[in-house]
């Protein structure tokens, strides 16, 4: 039987335990019962904001190779910046995974094609990349993820990995991902660059934190005016620093031991078809 991430996950087990305890103590101490129920709500709220948490669903946030390997991932694109990053990755013979937002895929479908042609992989980062997506209904959440899946299928690829905007998860996400046959990938090393809004010294912040088996989070969304070349310089600083530290960059699929994307054979990759969404 296929394992469902919606089965008895830590959130459900904790909820059953705390709410059962609340029911038992209620006749003797209603205040204590209310405190136990409130504790469960606090745990759920806090868990949503920890990208490495497995409270609601299994989350892949790092590799398990036990060796000096890391993976590079880029969020929020594609954009005109992506091409320069692809050139940089080529110079270092590094492969990355780009978690793309649907609106930007429609703006730059040719860049998506170039990502694939150069041997990189794609992940789903929702259609609109709303930072508060996880506050929306199940139906809206599913539509945000499903729409990107359909657009990418029209371009000839099926992606399996979803990264939620800003790393926030919620109890509805495992239901959606189960339905779509996907899994959740977050990260274990980031520069807190606010989506390329805080680019200066980005490389130093990454290199200060990076460890073997990390999934590194960078961004290829358009930065603030004037910072385009600085993003490339800081990204190169990361690549050079990883090399100096003998940390080899692996494709994300190799680091986590799981495919993140598959190409669909015999698909007509038509920009005109893509634009119907």
Q: What tens digit of pLDDT does each residue of 77-92 get?
A: 999 999 999 999 999 9
pTM, entire model: 0.84
Average pLDDT, integer, range 233-262: 97
Alpha helices in 74-216 (DSSP H): 80-91, 102-107, 109-117, 138-154, 173-180, 202-209
Average pLDDT, integer, range 34-38: 65
What is the CATH T-level fold of the domain 59-274, as seen in this structure?
Answer: TIM Barrel (3.20.20)
- Cα torsion through 180, 181, 184, 185, rounded to 10: -120
Pick 62 or 166 by higher pLDDT. Answer: 62
Q: Where do the domains of the chain lie?
A: 10-48, 59-274
HSE, CB side, 13 Å, CA atoms: give it for residue 144.
26
Q: What is the pLDDT of residue 45?
A: 56
């Amino acid at each position: 039987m296929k394992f469902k991430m919606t089965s008895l996950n830590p959130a459900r087990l904790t909820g059953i335990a705390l709410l059962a305890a609340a029911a038992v103590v209620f006749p003797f101490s209603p205040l204590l019962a209310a405190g136990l129920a409130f504790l469960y709500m606090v745990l759920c709220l806090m868990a949503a904001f920890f990208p490495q948490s497995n409270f609601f669903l299994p989350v892949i946030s790092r590799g398990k190779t036990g060796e000096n390997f890391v993976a590079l991932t880029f969020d929020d694109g594609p954009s005109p910046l992506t091409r320069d990053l692809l050139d940089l990755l080529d110079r270092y013979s590094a492969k990355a995974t780009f978690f793309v937002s649907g609106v930007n895929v429609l703006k730059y479908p040719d860049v998506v094609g170039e990502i694939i042609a150069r041997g990189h992989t794609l992940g789903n980062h929702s259609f609109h990349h709303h930072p508060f997506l996880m506050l929306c209904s199940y139906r809206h959440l599913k539509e945000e993820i499903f729409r990107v899946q359909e657009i990418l299928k029209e371009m000839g690829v099926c992606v399996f990995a979803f990264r939620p905007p800003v790393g926030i998860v919620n109890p509805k996400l495992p239901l959606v991902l189960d339905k779509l046959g996907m899994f959740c990938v977050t990260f274990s090393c980031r520069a807190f660059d606010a989506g390329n809004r805080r680019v200066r010294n980005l490389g130093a912040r990454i290199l200060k934190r990076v460890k073997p088996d990390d999934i590194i989070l960078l961004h290829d969304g358009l930065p603030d005016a004037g910072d385009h070349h600085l993003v490339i310089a800081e990204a190169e600083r990361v690549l050079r620093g990883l090399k100096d530290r003998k940390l080899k960059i692996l494709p994300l699929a190799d680091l986590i031991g799981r495919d993140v994307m598959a190409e669909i054979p015999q698909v007509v990759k038509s920009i005109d078809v893509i634009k119907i969404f």
